[in-house]
Amino acid sequence: MSATHALPAQRHGSAIVIIGVLFFIFGFVTWLNGPLITFVKLAFGLNDVNAFLVPMAFYLSYFFLALPASFILKLTGMKKGMAVGLVVMAIGAVLFGQYATMRVYPGALIGLFVIGAGLALLQTASNPYVSILGPIDSAAQRIAVMGICNKGAGILAPLLIGALVLRGIDDIDRQIKAAPSPAAREALLNLFAARVHLPYLVMAAALVVLAFWIVMSSLPEIRASESNASADAGKTSLLRYPHLWLGVLCLFLYVGVEVMAGDAIGTYGQGFGLPLSATRFFTAFTLFAMLIGYLVGLLLIPRFISQQRYLAVSAVLGVLFTLGAYLTTGYASVVFVATLGFANAMMWPAIFPLAIRGLGALTEFGSAFLIMGIAGGAIIPQLYAHLKEHYAFQAVFALLMAPCYLYILYYALSGHRAGLRDAG
C-alpha cells in the first residue's frame, strides 16, 4: 500500500491506539528525569552540575543512536524496530535501578543512556509513522493526540516517583545532615537510594510485556519512503533540503527549552529557597500546562489555523512567558516557567512534519537527523547548570530561553519553506 490513510478505518484506529500507548511510555520514562535530578543530588551527594548529567546522559543517547536506529529500522521495519527499542529500554531500566541502589553514579548514568538509546529507536520509528499515517497537513493534529498520551504520562511520572521514591525527602535530607557518624549517614543514603530499585524493575517488566504485545499486534508495517507522496524525485541527497537542516536546529533548540521548563523547573524553584517537598512536583505542573496546550492545538489545527502559524504563536508565547519568569520571583516566577509548557506543547507536532515534508525515500534518514536534534535536551540544561554557578540563575534562564524561542519563530515564519518549491 502506498499510504496508511488507505487502511480500513478499524485498522487505522487500532494503529493510533497502539502508537498512543508507545507515546505514553515515551512520556512516562522521559519525564522521570526531572524528579531524578532531585533524587541523585541527595542519593549521590551531587551539586547541580553533576546532577544535570541525568538529562545529559539520557538525551545524548539520541545524538549517538538516532542514525544507527535508522539503519536498524531499514532492516527490521518499523514494527519490529519498536519492539527492539522497548527491550533495550527494559535493559536500561534494570541497569539504572541496580546501579542507583548500589550508589554507583557512572553505572546509573549508563542505565539512563541505554534507556535513551531504546527511546531513540522508538522515536525514530514512531514520529514519522504518525506523520505519514494520514495527510501531512494534518500531521500536527495526529501528533497532538500522541502528545496528550505523552504528557498525560508525564504528569503521572513525577507524581508516582514523588510518592514512591521522594516521599518525606525534606525529613530525609535533615536526618542525613544530622547523622551522628559517617556510617550512619551512609546507611541512611543506602536506604534512600534503594527506594528506586523496585519501581525500575517493574518498569522493565512492563516494557518487555509491551514489546511482545507490539510484535503480536495488528500494527501495519509502513515504509515512510512509500508514503510521502510529495517528494521531489530529483533530489537524492539530504543536503538539498535546507528546510530539514533548519528543522534539525529548530528541534535541538525546542527540546532544550522543553527540558528546561520541565526537568530544570525543580532546580529553578530551589534557587528561590523553595522546599524540596514542593519542588519535586514542579515537573508535573509544566506537563499539565503542556497537556492543556495539546488539547487546544488539537481543537484548532488545522481547522482554524495552520500548524506553522500555530508554531509562530507558540514561539511568541515562549518569549513572553520567559520574560514573565525573569520579572517575577518565588512561586510566581515558577508559574511562568510552568506555563512555558503550554507554549511548548504544539512545537514538536508542528516542527517534525514541516521538517520531513517532501523527503520521499530519504524520510527515514531525515527523521533520524531530527531525532539527533533531541540532544538539545542534553546541552542547553547543562549550560544552565554551569552558568548559574557564576551568574544570577533567573538571568541565565532568560538569556538561554529567549533566543531559542526567537529562532523557532523564524522557522515557523519562513525557515520551514527554505528550498521547497511547492511550499505555501
pLDDT in tens, 191-224: 999 999 999 999 999 999 999 988 888 776 665 4
**Superfamily covering domain 4-220+238-417:** MFS general substrate transporter like domains (1.20.1250.20)
Grid cell digits, residue 234? 530529483
Looking up cell 540544561 gives 381
pLDDT at 2 (0 to 100)? 37
**Cα gap 91→365, rounded to integer Å:** 26
pLDDT at 9 (0 to 100)? 52
- Listed range (91-95, 119-123, 248-252, 399-403) with the worst mean pLDDT: 119-123
**Cα gap 124→259, rounded to integer Å:** 19
Note the pTM of the prediction, 2 decimals.
0.83
pLDDT at 66 over 50: yes
Of residues 219 and 359, more confidence is placed in 359
pLDDT tens digits, one per residue of 260-284: 999 999 999 999 999 888 888 898 8
Q: Which of 139, 42, 142 is nearest to 100 (CA)?
A: 42
Can you say whether residue 220 is alpha, beta or left, with left for phi > 0 and alpha for psi between -120 and 50 degrees?
beta
pLDDT at 16 over 90: no
pLDDT at 392 (0 to 100)? 95
Grid cell digits, residue 327? 520579572
Contact 146, 129 (CB under 8 A): no
Query: Can you spell out the DSSP letters for 224-281?
Result: HHHH-TT--TT--SGGG-HHHHHHHHHHHHHHHHHHHHHTSHHHHHHTTT--HHHHTT
pLDDT at 128 (0 to 100)? 65
pLDDT at 230 over 60: no
pLDDT at 384 (0 to 100)? 96
Provide the 3-class DSSP secondary structure of residue 361.
helix
pLDDT at 231 over 70: no
Assign 227 a pLDDT band (cuts: 50, 70, 90).
Answer: very low
pLDDT at 5 over 50: no
Assign 233 a pLDDT band (cuts: 50, 70, 90).
Answer: very low
pLDDT at 394 over 60: yes
Grid cell digits, residue 372? 539527533
Q: What is the mean pLDDT of residues 124-131?
A: 71
Provide the 3-class DSSP secondary structure of residue 35.
helix
Contact 383, 286 (CB under 8 A): no
Contact 155, 290 (CB under 8 A): no
pLDDT at 383 over 90: yes
Q: How crowded is the C-beta side of 38, counted as CA atoms within 13 Å?
A: 33
Provide the 3-class DSSP secondary structure of residue 414.
coil
Sign of CA dihedral 394, 400, 403, 408: negative
What's the one-letter identity of residue 3? A
pLDDT at 222 (0 to 100)? 62
pLDDT at 352 (0 to 100)? 86
**Residues, the chain, total?**
424
Assign 308 a pLDDT band (cuts: 50, 70, 90).
Answer: confident
pLDDT tens digits, one per residue of 245-261: 999 999 999 999 999 99
Neighbours of 179 (CB within 10 A): 15
Q: What is the mean pLDDT of residues 365-380?
A: 89
Q: For all residues of the chain together, what is the average pLDDT?
A: 86
- Listed range (63-67, 224-228, 361-365) with the worst mean pLDDT: 224-228
What's the one-letter identity of residue 272? F
Q: What is the mean pLDDT of residues 35-55?
A: 93
pLDDT at 187 over 60: yes
What's the one-letter identity of residue 232? D
Of residues 160 and 109, more confidence is placed in 109
pLDDT at 221 (0 to 100)? 67
pLDDT tens digits, one per residue of 337-346: 999 999 998 8
**Cα gap 380→388, rounded to integer Å:** 12
Q: What is the mean pLDDT of residues 397-408?
A: 97
Q: What is the mean pLDDT of residues 312-318?
A: 96
Of residues 36 and 127, more confidence is placed in 36
**Cα gap 37→350, rounded to integer Å:** 29
Sorted by where each begins, the domain ranges of the chain are 4-220+238-417
Contact 165, 39 (CB under 8 A): yes
Of residues 11 and 252, more confidence is placed in 252
pLDDT at 132 (0 to 100)? 63
